């Protein structure tokens, strides 16, 4: 049945359109819109993300070349560069931010039992910020330094499935710590951070919410050792201490005891020191949790390489936020499809396949299963034969 429909329309079938319409209604997205609806806009921008279109003119040319297939792809309005540019400038970006959150909630339910490298029942989040450079003359609202523009993506990543649960988009001058101000802590969850987020007032707020944190220490942090636990130094652990802060202000900002774990990473030849408010986990688990923080670095690298968020189709803040949130929606949607179809290939490979087959009329399940079987056979051929049977 799906073999008679384009692959793109089959992908879009996984969207919860009733939730999307509620998001549109919430912000009156289709008010006085006659021909090119918010759904048309989303489909066009999602198509651009999936097929790596570089500009609005590129999107227009590609879709118009397949004019007879657009209706069956779900695009009802007439596609033109000016119409799409106007929609990106005028339609409220919060429509797509809210809809991305709907997809994120769905993806987190699918990936909640996945392993992320540490045996832990609680939810573990990694926090970090990435910077996307912009031309200041084209994006004057995104001032970073005197002669340079940029925006920052402040992100909270659920390590189970590498699903972004929270994203805040700011100009380049915004402090990384604003992410902690926006965060609503979940009791019992773990928040893994680099030392750029070392602010003891905000960390104490996490502690009061009964959330746990693991954060890398700064060298000039003043403290007094209260007690030392024995450690197995063959694992790379150097010390496991209970401490109190003794700085002029920090002892007031965080008045309770902290745990200090020092670990030598043989792979990177780094001596790492962590602060945490969790006194129950083994010290080696604390070090392993921080190592898992690199998943968010890989996430940033992946989306920059595979989604269109480094070159933008519009220059206003609304157009930029719209494009980023639709890009996030596409990323999460592909992750949902991968999980629901039980496809073993990577997200990168999956996107590469979808990018060149968007107009093909073949069952998405059949195509991806064939690719999975082919990859498995190729892997078998690469194995050395120990016996000739």
* pLDDT at site 303: 87
Which pair of structure tokens corresponds to residue 92? 């409220």
- Alpha carbon distance 256, 76 (integer Å): 60
pLDDT score, position 314: 92
- Angle (CA) 373 376 377, round 5°: 85
Q: Indicate the domain borders of the chain.
A: 2-95+318-379, 208-283
Q: Write down the pLDDT at residue 246.
A: 95
The per-residue pLDDT for range 172-201, each reduced to its tens digit, is 999 999 999 999 999 999 999 999 999 999
How many other C-beta atoms are found inside a 10 Å radius of the C-beta of residue 266?
7
Instruction: Tell me the residue length of the chain.
Output: 389
φ, ψ dihedrals at 343, nearest 5°? -90, 130
pLDDT at 332: 95
- CA nearest 126: which of 175, 166, 182, 99? 166
Confidence (pTM): 0.89
Give the containing element (helix H, strand E) for 166.
Answer: strand 163-171
| pLDDT, tens digit (0-9, with 9 covering 90-100), for 260-289 | 999 999 888 899 999 999 999 999 999 999
> What is the per-residue pLDDT for 345?
84
What angle do the packed helices 94-111 and 38-51 form, to 10 degrees?
Answer: 60
Counting as low any pLDDT under 70, the low residues of the chain are 1-3, 372-389
Q: Give the per-residue pLDDT at 2.
A: 57
Q: What is the CATH number of domain 208-283?
A: 2.20.25
> Would you state the structure tokens that stand for residue 237, as one six-digit string?
């652990």
| Per-residue model confidence (pLDDT) at position 378 | 52
Give the alpha-carbon dihedral of 263, 268, 270, 275, to 10 degrees.
-50
The C-alpha atoms of residue 95 and residue 200 are separated, in whole angstroms, by 35
User: At 178, is the secondary structure helix, strand, or coil?
Assistant: helix
- pLDDT at 374 (0 to 100): 63
């Amino acid at each position: 049945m799906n073999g008679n429909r384009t692959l793109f329309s089959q992908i879009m079938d996984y969207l919860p359109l009733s939730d999307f319409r509620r998001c549109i209604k919430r912000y009156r997205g289709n008010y006085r819109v006659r021909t090119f609806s918010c759904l048309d806009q989303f489909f066009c921008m999602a198509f651009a993300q999936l097929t790596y279109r570089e500009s609005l003119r590129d999107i227009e040319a590609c879709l118009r070349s397949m004019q007879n297939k657009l209706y069956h792809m779900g695009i009802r309005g007439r596609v033109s560069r000016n119409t799409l540019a106007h929609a990106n400038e005028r339609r409220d970006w919060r429509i797509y931010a809210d809809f991305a959150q709907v997809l994120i909630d769905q993806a987190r339910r699918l990936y909640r039992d996945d392993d992320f490298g540490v045996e832990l029942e609680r939810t573990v989040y990694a926090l970090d910020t990435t910077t996307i450079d912009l031309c200041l003359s084209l994006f004057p609202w995104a001032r970073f330094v005197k002669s340079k523009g940029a925006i920052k993506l402040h992100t909270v990543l659920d390590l189970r499935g590498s699903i972004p649960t929270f994203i805040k988009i700011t100009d380049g001058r915004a402090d990384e710590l604003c992410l902690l101000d926006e965060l609503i802590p979940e009791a019992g969850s773990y928040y893994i951070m680099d030392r750029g987020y070392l602010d003891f007032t905000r960390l104490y707020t996490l502690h009061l919410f009964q959330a746990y944190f693991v954060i890398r220490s700064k060298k000039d942090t003043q403290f007094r050792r209260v007690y030392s636990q024995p450690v197995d130094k063959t694992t790379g652990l150097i010390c496991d201490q209970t401490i109190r802060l003794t700085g002029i202000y920090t002892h007031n900002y965080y008045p309770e005891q902290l745990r200090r774990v020092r670990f030598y990473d043989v792979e990177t030849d780094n001596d790492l020191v962590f602060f945490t408010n969790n006194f129950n986990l083994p010290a080696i688990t604390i070090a392993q949790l921080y190592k898992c923080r690199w998943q968010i670095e890989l996430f940033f690298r992946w989306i920059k390489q595979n989604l269109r968020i480094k070159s933008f189709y519009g220059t206003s803040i609304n157009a930029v936020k719209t494009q980023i949130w639709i890009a996030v929606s596409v990323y999460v949607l592909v992750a949902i499809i991968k999980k629901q179809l039980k496809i073993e290939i990577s997200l990168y490979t999956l996107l590469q396949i979808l990018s060149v087959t968007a107009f093909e009329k073949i069952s998405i399940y059949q195509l991806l299963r064939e690719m999975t079987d082919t990859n498995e056979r190729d892997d078998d051929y690469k194995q050395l034969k120990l016996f000739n049977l």
